[in-house]
C-alpha cells in the first residue's frame, strides 16, 4: 500500500539523541542501577489539589464532548495567568487550548507555514521541531547557537539565514537543551528581523517558570511584535503535569479561528475533566512553580560546582530550564562516545547534545529531574569516570 508524502516528512532524525536513553532502559531491565539523566520529565508529582479536582470533575460527570478551543473559564484563567506572569493583557479569545506544548507547536506550524516556506530554528534544538516543520511541508533552516556565547542566539546569524521564502522563526526560551534565557534586547533584535521581513515568531515558552537569574521574557510583551508572535506554553514543566497533555497557544489575529478548525478536524478538544483540573492548576500556580524552581536551582548549582571541579570536564551554567550542558571536549571523546561510555562504565545515562543539532557537538545534556541524593550519586559516578580517564591520559602521556 502507498502512504502520503506527509509520513516521510514526519520521520525524525533527531530521535538519534534518544538512543542512549533506550540503551539505559535496557541496562535497567538487565538489573543495573542506571541513573537516568536522559529525559526531561520532572520527578515531582502533580500537586494533589489538581489531581483531586480532576477526580471530582470525573465524578461530577464531566465525561462528555467539551470545548474544542478550551472552555471559556479555562481560557480566561490562562489569559489572567499570562497577564500575571508577563504584565501584558491578552484576551481569552486569543487563547486556544492544545494537547501540551507539542500539540501547540504542531498546530501553530501547520497553520502558518507550508510547502515552499522556510522556518528558521536555532540549533541545538528540541528534537521534535524537525518533524513539526516537516509536517507543515516547510523546510527547516537552522542557525547555530555557540557554546562560547553561552548558547545565546547571535541575531546576525539569524539575519543571514533569512531568504524571500522565510515564513517563520521558531524560538525557545528558556532553552532546551542549553538553558539559555534570552534578554529583552536579544528578543527585540530578533523581533526587528521578523518585522523587517514580515515573519511569524513562534515562541516556545514551556520552561517560562523555570529561570534562575533574570526572569523569563515573552516576545509577545514587545508591543512592536505582539501581532506576529505566537506563544506556546503548557503545564508539563511548571506543574509536573507532562502526562496530562495540557498546553495552549496565545494566538494573534485570525489564528484562533484556524486553530479551532484544525481542532475540529483532528482532536475535538481536551477531555473536559482535564480542562476543569487545568483551571485549578493555572490559578494555583505560584507556590508550586516557585518550589520546583528553587529545587532545580539547588540542583543546578550542585551540578555546576561539582562538574567544574572535575578533571577534563566543564559546563555552561544554565540560566533556566532543567538541563546542564556538560562540556566533554577535554576528554577528546565525541559526545556520543562519552555518553555511551558513561552509561557502560558508570551507569549514568545522559544525551549526546549533538543529537539536538551539530552545534551541540562536544557536550552532553545532563538532566536535573532526579531527586537530589540521586543526582549526587550520579556526580560521584561522573567524578570517578572523569578521574579514571584523566589518570589513563596521564599514563599514556608519560
Under the rule (CB under 6 A), what is the footprint of ligand PLP? 40, 100-102, 126, 172, 176, 204, 206, 234, 236, 242, 247
Return the bridge partners of 229, or none.
201
Question: Min. distance of Cβ 332 from ligand PLP in angstroms?
Answer: 30
Report the residue number, 206 or 312, with the smaller CB distance to ligand PLP: 206
Alpha carbon 314 to its chain's center? 23
Question: Min. distance of Cβ 100 from ligand PLP in angstroms?
Answer: 3
**Residues 157, 122: Cα–Cα separation, whole Å:** 9
**Residues 160, 377: Cα–Cα separation, whole Å:** 45
Cβ–Cβ under 8 Å, residues 297 and 289: no
Report the residue number, 176 or 209, with the smaller CB distance to ligand PLP: 176
Q: Which of 43, 38, 40, 42 is nearest to 19 (CA)?
A: 38
Report the residue number, 319 or 347, with the smaller CB distance to ligand PLP: 319
Question: Min. distance of Cβ 165 from ligand PLP in angstroms?
Answer: 25
Looking at residue 30, the DSSP 8-state letter turns out to be: T
Question: Min. distance of Cβ 102 from ligand PLP in angstroms?
Answer: 3
Residue whose beta carbon is closest to ligand PLP: 100
The residues, ordered by sequence, that sit 6+ positions from 120 with a Cβ below 8 Å of its Cβ are 141, 142, 143, 158, 161, 162, 166, 168, 169, 170
Provide φ and ψ at 108, rounded to 5°: -65, -45
Report the residue number, 119 or 312, with the smaller CB distance to ligand PLP: 119
CA angle 227, 91, 98 (to 5 degrees): 85
Question: Min. distance of Cβ 210 from ligand PLP in angstroms?
Answer: 11
For 189-225, b/e burial (b = at least 16 CB within 10 A) is bbbebbeeeebbbbbbbbbbbbbbeeebbbbbbbeeb
**Residues 23, 355: Cα–Cα separation, whole Å:** 15
Report the residue number, 123 or 204, with the smaller CB distance to ligand PLP: 204
Question: Min. distance of Cβ 392 from ligand PLP in angstroms?
Answer: 35
Report the residue number, 86 or 234, with the smaller CB distance to ligand PLP: 234
Question: Min. distance of Cβ 103 from ligand PLP in angstroms?
Answer: 7
C-alpha grid cell, residue 293: 524552581
**Cα–Cα distance list, 119 to 13, 66, 228, 391 (Å):** 17, 33, 14, 46
Question: Min. distance of Cβ 101 from ligand PLP in angstroms?
Answer: 3
Report the residue number, 126 or 363, with the smaller CB distance to ligand PLP: 126
Report the residue number, 216 or 306, with the smaller CB distance to ligand PLP: 216
**Residues 201, 167: Cα–Cα separation, whole Å:** 9
Amino acid at each position: 500500500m502507498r502512504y502520503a508524502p506527509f509520513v516521510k516528512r514526519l520521520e525524525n532524525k533527531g530521535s538519534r539523541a534518544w538512543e542512549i536513553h533506550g540503551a539505559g532502559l535496557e541496562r535497567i531491565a538487565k538489573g543495573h542501577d542506571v541513573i537516568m539523566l536522559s529525559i526531561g520529565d520532572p520527578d515531582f508529582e502533580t500537586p494533589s489539589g489538581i489531581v483531586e479536582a480532576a477526580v471530582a470533575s470525573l465524578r461530577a460527570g464531566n465525561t462528555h464532548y467539551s470545548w474544542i478551543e478550551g472552555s471559556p473559564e479555562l481560557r480566561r484563567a490562562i489569559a489572567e495567568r499570562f497577564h500575571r506572569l508577563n504584565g501584558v493583557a491578552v484576551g481569552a479569545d486569543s487563547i486556544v487550548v492544545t494537547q501540551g506544548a507539542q500539540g501547540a507547536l504542531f498546530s501553530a506550524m501547520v497553520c502558518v507555514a507550508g510547502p515552499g516556506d522556510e522556518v528558521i530554528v536555532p540549533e541545538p534544538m528540541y528534537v521534535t521541531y524537525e518533524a513539526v516543520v516537516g509536517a507543515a511541508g516547510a523546510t527547516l533552516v537552522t542557525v547555530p547557537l555557540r557554546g562560547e556565547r553561552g548558547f545565546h542566539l547571535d541575531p546576525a546569524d539569524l539575519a543571514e539565514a533569512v531568504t524571500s521564502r522565510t515564513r517563520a522563526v521558531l524560538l525557545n526560551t528558556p532553552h532546551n537543551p542549553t538553558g539559555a534565557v534570552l534578554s529583552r534586547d536579544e528578543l527585540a533584535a530578533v523581533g526587528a528581523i521578523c518585522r523587517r521581513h514580515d515573519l511569524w515568531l513562534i515562541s516556545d515558552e514551556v520552561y517560562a517558570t523555570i529561570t534562575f537569574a533574570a526572569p523569563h521574557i515573552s516576545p509577545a510583551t514587545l508591543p512592536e511584535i505582539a501581532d506576529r508572535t505566537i506563544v506556546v506554553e503548557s503545564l508539563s514543566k511548571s506543574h509536573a503535569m507532562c502526562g496530562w497533555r495540557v498546553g495552549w497557544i496565545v494566538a494573534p489575529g485570525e489564528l484562533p479561528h484556524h486553530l479551532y478548525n484544525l481542532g475540529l478536524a483532528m482532536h475535538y478538544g481536551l477531555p473536559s475533566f482535564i480542562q476543569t483540573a487545568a483551571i485549578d492548576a493555572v490559578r494555583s500556580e505560584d507556590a508550586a512553580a516557585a518550589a520546583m524552581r528553587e529545587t532545580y536551582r539547588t540542583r543546578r548549582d550542585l551540578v555546576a560546582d561539582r562538574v567544574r571541579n572535575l578533571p577534563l570536564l566543564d559546563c555552561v551554567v544554565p540560566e533556566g530550564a532543567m538541563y546542564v550542558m556538560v562540556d566533554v571536549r577535554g576528554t577528546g571523546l565525541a559526545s556520543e562516545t562519552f555518553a555511551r561510555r558513561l552509561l557502560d562504565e558508570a551507569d549514568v545515562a545522559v544525551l549526546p547534545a549533538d543529537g539536538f543539532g551539530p552545534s551541540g557537538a562536544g557536550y552532553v545534556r545532563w538532566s536535573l529531574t532526579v531527586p537530589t541524593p540521586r543526582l549526587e550519586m550520579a556526580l560521584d559516578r561522573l567524578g570517578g569516570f572523569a578521574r579514571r580517564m584523566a589518570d589513563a591520559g596521564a599514563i599514556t602521556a608519560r
